[in-house]
Structure 1
Amino acid sequence: MTAWLVLAKAGSKRISEGYDDSPATHYSWDSTVPNHATLKVGDVIALWDSVELLGLSVIEAIEVGQGEKETPYCVKCGKADVAERKKKLPRFVCWNQNCKHEDDKAGWKTKKVTTYRSQHEAGWVDARGTLTAPELRALCVQQASQNSLRELRWDDFHHALTHGGVPLPLRVVDTARQVIAEGHGTATIRVRKGQPAFRKHLLEVFGEVCAFTGPAPVQALEAAHLYSYAANGKHHKGGGLLLRRDLHRLFDLGLIAVNPKTKTLHLADELKTYPDYAKLDGAPLTVSVTADHTKWLTKHWYMHRSNLSVTVIPGQTGAAETVIA
């Protein structure tokens, strides 16, 4: 398992440098950064601000593109080892050991770079108040590293979060890793071709009704796929229901599943500690579903409730009936 500690310090400065960050959803970097091409889908990404851990998630996708970047260089030696000071003057200092020139100005050049932007909203866990900067540095593979992208020792990092002074449950992160590895569950944040029409169709079929909780404002309802849209890129018949956004996310992660035989909700144990969610456990769907819906709900159940026994019995018409023990 690979995990990365990435620096999200001084957001306004990063935006001015062409980065577009939102810790809970996405993070940007480019090919000028060490380890830039090492991060991959399925890795854990932990964001900090050089003071404390902000949160962590699992990389669902990495958008790769091309761009240009303005970089400073030393006007004396011509090297690109120039740092801009925040308070002390002169403003720029060259870090080249053979130069160390200080100046009020720097040279600037434009270079082509490869850009990267992670998508990691689905498994996001806020972690403020859990680990400090010194604790995080101690958990890096290279503890003295000054890189913006640093590899973490995952087992030690996981243990520090789950057994520290402020224990942080990481079931959502662990589940997201499994779901992404299996090619399912990235529906939360993707902008898909045909998605507006798909949602419109569901509103026409079901009205302004969340399939788990009942009537809801249309603004709160999302078109939830009951299967992995990212895996096949199609809107299947009977493959969607309208869900409140929070329930959509929990369904994608498998923290809520639908028993395809009884058409009732089944919640993961950690959700039962929250009263508003606990009351949903065992509750029936609030809408009528078709055989196609049941087929997709069964696939979702198999993926996220494999510890519960399931028997498939041939039906009289050749269709299969699913029995959950």
Structure 2
Amino acid sequence: MAAWLVLAKIGSKRISEGYDDNPATHYSWDSTVNNHAKLKVGDVIALWDAAELLGLSVIEDIQIGRGEKETPYCLECGKADVAMRKKKLPRFVCWNQECKHESNEVGWKRKQITTYRSRHEAGWIDARGTLTAAEVRDLCVQRASQNSLRELRWDDFRHALTHDGVPLPLRVVDTAQKAIAEGHGAAIIRVRKGQPAFRKHLLEAFGEVCAFTGPAPVQALEAAHLYSYATNGRHHKGGGLLLRRDLHRLFDLGLIAVDPHTKSLHLADALKAYPDYAKLHGAPLTVPVTDEHLKWLIRHWEMHRAQTFPLQALAEVATP
């Protein structure tokens, strides 16, 4: 298993590349990029925008294809290290240290390429605000590398996320790797924002009510779609709940779980230091849940709490 840092900054990639990126779900690159063939299913993929770490996940699948690409080259030195300026003129500048030619025109050539597109939605953890660009660079195998795909020192990277600053739970990443290693037999329980129609349905069903805290402004409520997203790409619809935005994030990370025995909230010790959150520990759900909801809430509990609080008698309820 390896870990890779990949650049996903909108508008930062060089002209004509046309990559289709969505940091939380997929990432694309091609054979013109250094290390292009080294990323594998099961590897950790960490995305940044050259300013901060955006998040990380586990590669579930890589789609490989063929394509044709039109790339620019410097008319002075003939190399492809050309960037287009947004405002400053001349429009183009060569990044080749021995050239640095500036011009309003570049040459173009077409080449056959191999295309790659990762899928990594299931294990995605948002990590904004955890590591700065300088900290991320320092955790690369080659600290001075300028490549868009850079190998990370995984043990050091993991330690930085789980021990420095505000610790970030990585249980979802661990579970995703385990699921892939075991042949996709384990389910990864995620909470995702729903589409507007789904949110509208939940508002009609529950009203303007957060399932954890009760009535809340509609602007603060997010549609949380509970489902099992196995690493083979199958989705199992299991109902939805409305959650306040901050609670949605904490639940997604496993810092808040629902005790299936009591249908009440269980907070990780780290949250109990904050009075506004601490008072939620042991509080009952504020909306009724169906057996389908409960099935996936049990799976979420198994992922984030089962080692400390085993379910025992409820285990059979969690079987799809």
Q: What TM-score comes out, normalization by structure 1 length? A: 0.70
The answer as to whether partners of 1:265 and 1:282 remain within 8 angstroms in 2 is yes
- Report the secondary structure of 2:313's partner residue: strand
Distance 1:28 1:127, change over 3 A: farther
**Partners of 1:117 and 1:245 in 2: how far apart?**
28
Measure, in 1, the Cα distance between the counterparts of 2:157 and 2:317.
44
CA drift of 1:106 comes to: 2.8
Q: Counterpart in 2 of 1:14?
A: 13
Aligned residue type for 1:188 = R
Show the counterpart of 1:47.
48
Q: Give, as a single letter, the amino acid of the residue that structure 2 aligns with 1:170.
A: L
CA distance in 2, matches of 1:112, 1:219: 48
Q: Match for residue 237 of structure 2? A: 235
What is the Cα deviation at residue 112 of structure 1? 5.7
Q: Would you say 1:184 and 2:153 are equivalent positions?
A: no
| Partner SS state of residue 188, structure 1 | strand
Deviation at 1:234, TM superposition (A): 3.4
Q: Displacement of 1:261 after TM fit?
A: 1.6
Aligned residue identity for 2:13: R
When structure 1 is superposed on structure 2, of 303-312 and 179-188 the one drifting more is 179-188
Preserved contact between residue 6 and residue 45 of structure 1 (Cα < 8 Å)? yes
- Residues 144-163 of structure 1 show CA distances to partners (whole Å, capped at 9, x for unaligned) of 53311100111123334556
* Runs (5+) with no aligned partner, structure 2: 180-186
Alignment counterpart, residue 167 of structure 2, candidates 161, 164, 169 = 169
Unaligned runs of 5+ in 1: 315-319
What is the correspondence of 1:281-320 to structure 2 with a 5 Å cutoff? Answer: 281-307=281-307, 308-312=309-313
Alignment-derived partner of residue 317 in structure 1: none
Q: How does 1:104-123 map to 2 (within 5 A)?
A: 104=103, 105-111=105-111, 114=115, 116=117, 122-123=124-125
Cα deviations by residue, 1:210-249 (Å, 9 ceiling, x for unpaired): 211112334443443444145642324xx33232333233
Are residues 1:205 and 2:205 paired? yes
SS in 1 for 2:32: coil
- The whole-number CA distance in structure 2 between the counterparts of 1:207 and 1:101 is 61
In the alignment, residue 57 of structure 2 is paired with which amino acid? V
Q: Distance in 2 between matches of 1:124 and 1:300?
A: 18
Alpha-carbon distance in 2 for matches of 1:296, 1:163:
29
Change (3 A) 1:37 1:217: farther
Task: For 2:258 and 2:208, locate their aligned partners in 1 and report how far apart those are by CA, in whole Å.
Answer: 20
Residues 69-115 of structure 1, C-alpha deviations (whole Å, 9 max, x = no match)? 431235477x5444459799996559599xx6957443112446526
TM-superposition CA deviations, 1:184-222 (whole Å, max 9, x none)? 234425x7xxx6665454434322322111123344434
Tell me if the contact between 2:84 and 2:93 (Cα under 8 Å) persists in the aligned partners.
yes
CA 1:214–1:145 in structure 2 vs 1: closer, same or farther (change >3 Å)?
same
Q: Is contact 1:259-1:301 (8 Å) kept?
A: yes
Match of 2:183 in 1: none
Q: Distance in 1 between matches of 2:202 and 2:234?
A: 20
Equivalent AA in structure 1 for residue 34 of structure 2 = P
TM-score for both structures, normalised by structure 2: 0.71
Name 2:158's counterpart in structure 1.
158
Cα distance in 2 for residues equivalent to 1:144 and 1:46: 17
Q: 1:84 to 1:198 in 2, by over 3 A?
A: closer
Q: 1:282: how far off?
A: 0.9
Going from structure 1 to structure 2, the CA distance change for 1:271 and 1:36 (only over 3 Å counts) comes to: farther
Does the CA-based 8 Å contact 1:14-1:20 persist in structure 2? no
Cα distance 1:302–1:208, how it changes in 2: closer, same or farther (>3 A)?
A: same
Counterpart Cα distance in 2 of 1:286 and 1:90: 58
Percent of residue pairs identical:
54
Q: Partners of 1:282 and 1:152 in 2: how far apart? A: 40
Residue matched to 1:57: 56
RMSD of equivalent CA atoms: 4.3
User: How many Å separate the matches in 2 of 1:85 and 1:224?
Assistant: 41
